[in-house]
Amino acid sequence: MGKNNSSLCRVKPFMDFLLEDIPRLILFLENLGIDVSDEIIKRENIFYDGHYGEKALKPPCDYLCKLIETLPNNFYAQEKIISSSDSKTRNIRMSLIKDKEMREKAINQIKEEYETYKDVLRGAIFLEGSSKPDVFIETDKTVIVVEGKWTEKIATENTAFVEHRNQMVRHIHDAINYIDVLKMEKKIYGFYIVTEEFAARSETAISKERFSEKLSEQFGVEGFEEQINAAYKGFVTWESIEKQFPNVGKRWKEKPD
């Protein structure tokens, strides 16, 4: 973690503040168009760094299989694999690029092992790990994923092996998988908390309109576009939060303890 870590310097102090009085949390979410006022909210179902840790959300099994299946045409991933410093992992992944039979074997292995991993995926055949939103809130009817940006310059638009994999798309996609795997019917929402400077620089990337447009270029979300788009609530700024809750600014940190 860098000295200007957004999770510890902004997200944790803000969430600690909200959890001191649950109606504050409800009010904050209402301003984003998320109504949880009649839902059961338990503190043990809210995750962030410093409070049960960040919640790990597995990507869908079909998505992981598609990553393997499309490796021969994924030149972005191939470049990353070739330049890997771990020779054992590199050799396994190089064989997946070159050998169709090896890809089929890996896909079958993913399908067989997927359910045995509760949240963290391990092994060379897994080309994407679990996403970890800065905040994960689960009520009896709703799942909410939040990504905080403070000193970061731009929104994250890729993963190690996928060139077009927006961070919020990933969080929401994996949250959909989370409720599907557990056979739950819940609403899903996702949003950013950013600085005004970040918003001014990146609004075209994190605005509702641009988010909707970029879904067509995202890898592996076919069939989920409408659900992901409906879940995205845009962004709110840290400065507007200070105006809504004047006392919370006193808790901001310039570096982690």
Q: Where are the beta strands (DSSP E) in the chain?
A: 41-48, 135-139, 142-148, 187-194, 232-237
* 124, part of any domain: no
3-state secondary structure string across 104-140: HHHHHHHHHHHHHCCCCCCCCCCCCCCECCCEEEEEC
Is 50 found in the same domain as 71? Answer: no
Range list of H helices, 118-216:
167-181, 196-206, 208-214
Cα distances (angstroms) measured from residue 220 to each of 63, 86, 169: 6, 26, 11
Q: For residue 3, is pLDDT > 70? A: no
251: enclosing H helix or E strand = none
User: Whole domain around residue 110: which residue ranges?
Assistant: 61-116
Give the residue carrying structure tokens 């879904």. 215
Q: Which of 228, 154, 230 is nearest to 197 (CA)?
A: 154
d(CA 51, CA 82): 38
238: enclosing H helix or E strand = helix 238-244
Is 169 found in the same domain as 81? Answer: no
Is 53 found in the same domain as 153? Answer: yes
* 1, part of any domain: no
Is 154 found in the same domain as 181? Answer: yes
Is 188 found in the same domain as 111? Answer: no
- What's the pTM value of the predicted model, to 2 decimals? 0.94
**Section 98-125 average pLDDT:** 92
Is 71 found in the same domain as 167? Answer: no
Enter the tokens of residue 119: 């949240």
Q: Are 64 and 127 in contact (CB under 8 A)?
A: yes
* 14, part of any domain: yes
Give the residue carrying structure tokens 């998505």. 63
The amino acid present at 136, given as its one-letter code, is: F
Q: What angle do CA 6, 141, 18 make, to 5 degrees?
A: 35
The amino acid present at 215, given as its one-letter code, is: L
Domains in the chain, number: 2
The whole-number pLDDT of residue 256 equals 67
* 257, part of any domain: no
Cα distances (angstroms) measured from residue 33 to each of 52, 195, 233: 26, 20, 8
Average pLDDT, the chain: 93
Q: Which of 58, 57, 27, 26 is nearest to 41 (CA)?
A: 26
**Section 5-31 average pLDDT:** 94
Give the residue carrying structure tokens 């001014």. 200
Q: Which of 158, 156, 93 is nearest to 124 (CA)?
A: 93
Is 192 found in the same domain as 106? Answer: no
Is 215 found in the same domain as 167? Answer: yes
> CB atoms < 10 A from the CB of 66, how many?
16
The whole-number pLDDT of residue 257 equals 62
**pLDDT tens profile 115-163:** 988 888 889 999 999 999 999 999 999 999 999 999 888 889 999 999 9
Q: For residue 253, is pLDDT > 50? A: yes
Is 217 found in the same domain as 194? Answer: yes
Helical axes 61-69 vs 100-113, angle rounded to 10°: 170
